[in-house]
Amino acid sequence: MVTFEVNDMTCGHCVSAITKAVAFVDPGAKVQIDLASHRVQVEPSASSADVLSDAIRVAGYTPVEVAGATAPAVKATPRKGCCCG
Protein backbone atom coordinates (compact mmCIF):
# COMPACT_ATOMS: atom_id res chain seq x y z
CA MET A 1 0.00 0.00 0.00
CA VAL A 2 1.31 3.41 -1.03
CA THR A 3 -0.19 6.54 0.51
CA PHE A 4 0.09 10.03 -0.88
CA GLU A 5 -1.08 13.30 0.50
CA VAL A 6 -2.33 15.45 -2.36
CA ASN A 7 -3.23 18.85 -0.98
CA ASP A 8 -4.28 20.32 -4.32
CA MET A 9 -6.94 17.64 -4.72
CA THR A 10 -10.07 19.60 -3.90
CA CYS A 11 -13.15 18.04 -5.49
CA GLY A 12 -14.68 15.07 -7.26
CA HIS A 13 -13.10 16.16 -10.50
CA CYS A 14 -9.65 15.92 -8.96
CA VAL A 15 -10.50 12.52 -7.51
CA SER A 16 -11.47 11.15 -10.91
CA ALA A 17 -8.46 12.73 -12.61
CA ILE A 18 -6.13 11.10 -10.12
CA THR A 19 -7.98 7.79 -10.30
CA LYS A 20 -7.61 7.81 -14.08
CA ALA A 21 -3.94 8.77 -13.89
CA VAL A 22 -3.23 5.83 -11.60
CA ALA A 23 -5.31 3.45 -13.73
CA PHE A 24 -3.38 4.60 -16.80
CA VAL A 25 0.01 3.54 -15.42
CA ASP A 26 -1.32 0.58 -13.42
CA PRO A 27 -4.73 -0.72 -14.58
CA GLY A 28 -4.76 -3.40 -11.89
CA ALA A 29 -4.14 -1.02 -9.01
CA LYS A 30 -6.70 -0.47 -6.29
CA VAL A 31 -7.22 3.20 -5.54
CA GLN A 32 -8.84 4.61 -2.42
CA ILE A 33 -9.18 8.34 -2.10
CA ASP A 34 -10.24 10.34 0.92
CA LEU A 35 -10.95 13.83 -0.28
CA ALA A 36 -11.47 15.28 3.20
CA SER A 37 -7.95 14.40 4.32
CA HIS A 38 -6.41 14.69 0.82
CA ARG A 39 -5.18 11.13 1.03
CA VAL A 40 -4.70 8.86 -1.96
CA GLN A 41 -4.06 5.22 -1.15
CA VAL A 42 -2.96 2.89 -3.89
CA GLU A 43 -2.47 -0.85 -3.79
CA PRO A 44 -0.23 -1.23 -6.84
CA SER A 45 -0.33 -4.34 -8.99
CA ALA A 46 2.44 -3.57 -11.44
CA SER A 47 4.00 -0.28 -10.47
CA SER A 48 6.05 1.41 -7.80
CA ALA A 49 5.47 4.43 -5.61
CA ASP A 50 7.69 6.48 -7.93
CA VAL A 51 5.65 5.58 -11.01
CA LEU A 52 2.39 6.37 -9.23
CA SER A 53 3.74 9.62 -7.89
CA ASP A 54 4.85 10.66 -11.39
CA ALA A 55 1.45 9.79 -12.83
CA ILE A 56 -0.32 11.97 -10.26
CA ARG A 57 2.13 14.80 -10.90
CA VAL A 58 1.61 14.56 -14.66
CA ALA A 59 -2.15 14.81 -14.05
CA GLY A 60 -1.46 18.22 -12.52
CA TYR A 61 -1.30 17.51 -8.80
CA THR A 62 1.36 17.50 -6.14
CA PRO A 63 1.59 14.14 -4.37
CA VAL A 64 3.63 13.80 -1.20
CA GLU A 65 4.34 10.24 -0.21
CA VAL A 66 3.30 9.45 3.34
CA ALA A 67 5.34 6.72 4.97
CA GLY A 68 3.46 4.25 7.09
CA ALA A 69 0.27 6.28 7.21
CA THR A 70 -3.18 4.96 7.79
CA ALA A 71 -5.92 7.09 6.35
CA PRO A 72 -8.88 7.68 8.62
CA ALA A 73 -12.10 5.94 7.67
CA VAL A 74 -13.88 9.13 6.78
CA LYS A 75 -16.27 9.30 3.87
CA ALA A 76 -15.40 12.01 1.41
CA THR A 77 -18.12 14.54 0.79
CA PRO A 78 -17.51 16.39 -2.47
CA ARG A 79 -18.07 20.09 -2.05
CA LYS A 80 -20.34 21.87 -4.45
CA GLY A 81 -19.17 24.77 -6.51
CA CYS A 82 -15.54 23.86 -6.79
CA CYS A 83 -13.83 26.07 -9.33
CA CYS A 84 -10.73 24.01 -9.85
CA GLY A 85 -9.33 22.96 -13.18
Residue 60: CB atoms within 10 Å = 14
Min separation Cβ 33 and Cu ion, Å: 11
Burial (CB count <10 Å: 0-12, 13-18, 19+), residue 46: exposed
Closer residue to Cu ion (CB): 11 or 21: 11
Among 2, 3, 4, 10, binds Cu ion (CB under 5 A): 10
Under rule CB under 5 A, how many of the chain's residues touch Cu ion?
Answer: 5
Residue 34: CB atoms within 10 Å = 18
Among 2, 6, 11, 52, binds Cu ion (CB under 5 A): 11
The reply on whether position 6 binds Cu ion by CB under 5 A is no
